[in-house]
Amino acid sequence: MANSRNWLRPALFLPRTQLRSSAITVRSNRTNFGFVILATVGAALVGAGIILLIAHNWDDLSRAARTVIVFIPLLVALALIGFVLMQRNESRPWRESVAVFDMAAVATAISLISQTFQVQGTFDSFMRVWLLLSIPIVYLLRTTFGAVVYVVGTMVWLFDHWGILGGQQNPNFAWLLLLLVIPYFLLRYRQDRDRRETTILATVMLLASVMALGLTADFTKADLGCIAFAGLLTGIYLCGIKFFPRQDERLHTVALLGGIGIGITAIVLSFEGTWHASHTLSWDKRSGSQNLGVIIELLFPVAAVCFAGWDLIRKQWRFSLSAAAFPIVAAIAWWIARSCDSSTDTRCTFAWAAVINGYTLLLGIDILMRGIRTHSIARANFGLVLIAALAVARFFDSDLSFVTRGLGFIVVGAGFLFANIVLFKKRVPV
C-alpha cells in the first residue's frame, strides 16, 4: 500500500530536505545580491565624499600638494585591490565595491591632474582614457557591476562623441569599446548564467548596442538602418531563446527584450515615411569609416539569418519562425522600396506596404496563438497589442473610411476579450 502511495505521488513533489536546501540557496543568492548592491553603493558614496573633501580647500593648496593628494585615493584603491586578491578573492561584495572605488579613483586622478597642470582636453578624450584604464579592473577583480559601469560609460562617451549639440563624428570606436567587455560577459555567462547580475549586464550591453547601431546607421548615410535593426533585434531574440533556456514556457529577459523590439520595429517600418531614401551614398563617395559602418550594419542581419538557419537545419529550433524571418522580410521590403520611386509609383508603395503590414499581422497572430497554446496571458495580450498597434497605425496612415476603421477596432477589441476570457477560464498562472 505504501509503495502504491509513493507511486501515486506526483513527481513534482520533492523531499523536504531538497525543498529546504533549495529555499536556502535562493535566499542566500538574494542576500548576496542585496549585499553586493549595498557594498557597491557604499563604495561609490565614500569616493564621492573624498572628492568633496578634497575640493573644499582645493584652490588654497599648492601644485605639489595637489599632486600628492590626487594620488592618495588611487594608491588606497591599489592597496585594496592587493588585499582583495590575496585575502578576499572569493568575496563578491569585496570585489565589486573595491572595483567601483578604484574606477572612481582613476577618474578623479585623471580629471584633477588635468586641472592641476592645465592639460588641454575635452570630455570626449577624458572618457575614452578612463574607459581604457578601467577595463583591466573589470577582468582583474571579476566585477560585474564594474562592467556595467564601463558599458554605461561607453554610452556616455558615445553621446558626447556623436555631438548632440555639435557636429556628428565617427561612432565606430564604440564597437571596439563594447568588444573589450564581451570576453568578460562570456566568462560570467559560463559561471553564473542564471544570476541577476548576468542578466543586468546583458541588458545594459544590449541597450548600448542598440544605441551604437542607431548612431552608426545615421553616420553611414546608407539607409540600411531598417535591415540592421531587424538583424540586431532578431539576433537578441534568438540568443535569448538559445543560450538562456527556461524550464517553463516563459521567456528570459534577453529573449523578451528582443521580441518586444521586433514588434516595435515592425510597427515603425509599417509607416510610409520610414522607407523614403534621404541620403543614400555609393561606396566610392563614402569615407573608409562610413564603409566600415556599413559592414557593421550588415553583420547583424547576416549573423541572425545564419544562426536561425543553422538551428533549422539541425532541427533544434525553439524560436518563433515569424520572428526569425524579420531580417529577410525587412530586406525584401527595403529592396522593393529602393527599386522604384515610392513617392510616385503607387504599385511600389502598395508592394512594400503589403509585405510589412502582412508580416506584422502574421507576427501578432503567431504571438497570440503561442500565448494561447502556452496559457500565457501576457504573451497573448502582447500579440493582440501588436495587432491593435498596427490597426492604430493604419488609422492615421491610410485613407480608409471611418466605417472600415471602426469595424477594424471592434474586431481587435473583441479579440482582446475573447483571448483573455479563454485564458482566465483555464486558471493557469502567467
Cell of 429: 498562472
Mean pLDDT of the region 140-162? 90
**Distance from C-alpha of 75 to C-alpha of 69, rounded to nearest angstrom:** 10
**Distance from C-alpha of 231 to C-alpha of 23, rounded to nearest angstrom:** 40
* CA proximity to 213, closest of 130, 299, 101, 127: 299
Domain membership flag for residue 112: yes
* CA proximity to 111, closest of 98, 97, 99, 129: 129
pLDDT number for residue 88:
85
Domain membership flag for residue 200: no
**Total Cβ atoms within 10 A of residue 251:** 20
Distance of CA 371 to the CA centre of its chain: 24
Per-residue b or e along 111-126, where b marks 16 or more CB atoms closer than 10 Å to that residue's CB: bbeeebeeeeeeeeeb
pTM for the full predicted model: 0.80
Domain that residue 72 falls in: 22-120
Domain membership flag for residue 114: yes
pLDDT in tens, 69-91: 778 878 888 898 999 899 888 88
On the question of pLDDT at 372 being above 50, the answer is yes
Domain membership flag for residue 235: no
- Would you place residue 303 in the very low, low, confident or very high pLDDT band (cuts 50, 70, 90)? very high
Q: Which residue has the cell 521580441?
A: 259
Residue 249's SS3 state is coil
Domain membership flag for residue 383: no
> Which of the pair, 42 or 279, is modelled with greater confidence?
42
Give me the helices (H) in 270-345, please. Answer: 288-314, 321-324, 326-339
**Distance from C-alpha of 141 to C-alpha of 150, rounded to nearest angstrom:** 14
Burial-class residue 227 by CB neighbours within 10 Å (0-12, 13-18, 19+). Answer: buried
Q: How many separate domains does the chain show?
A: 1
Per-residue b or e along 161-196, where b marks 16 or more CB atoms closer than 10 Å to that residue's CB: bbeeeeeebbbbbbbebbebbeebbeebbeeeeebe
Domain membership flag for residue 28: yes
Per-residue b or e along 253-277, where b marks 16 or more CB atoms closer than 10 Å to that residue's CB: ebbbbbbbbbbebbbebbeeebbee
Helix%, strand%, coil% for the chain, nearest 5: 80, 0, 20
Percentage of the chain with pLDDT > 90?
A: 27
Domain membership flag for residue 430: no
Domain membership flag for residue 422: no
Residue 123's SS3 state is helix
Mean pLDDT of the region 291-319? 91
326-339 helix and 288-314 helix, angle to the nearest 10 degrees:
130
Q: Per mean pLDDT, which range of 15-29, 101-115, 156-170, 251-265 is the poorest?
A: 15-29
- Would you place residue 130 in the very low, low, confident or very high pLDDT band (cuts 50, 70, 90)? very high
> Which of the pair, 241 or 377, is modelled with greater confidence?
241
In the chain, what is the straight-line distance between the N-terminal and C-terminal CA atoms, in Å? Answer: 38
On the question of pLDDT at 6 being above 50, the answer is no
Residue 240 near residue 258 (C-beta atoms within 8 A): yes
pLDDT number for residue 134:
93
pLDDT number for residue 47:
60
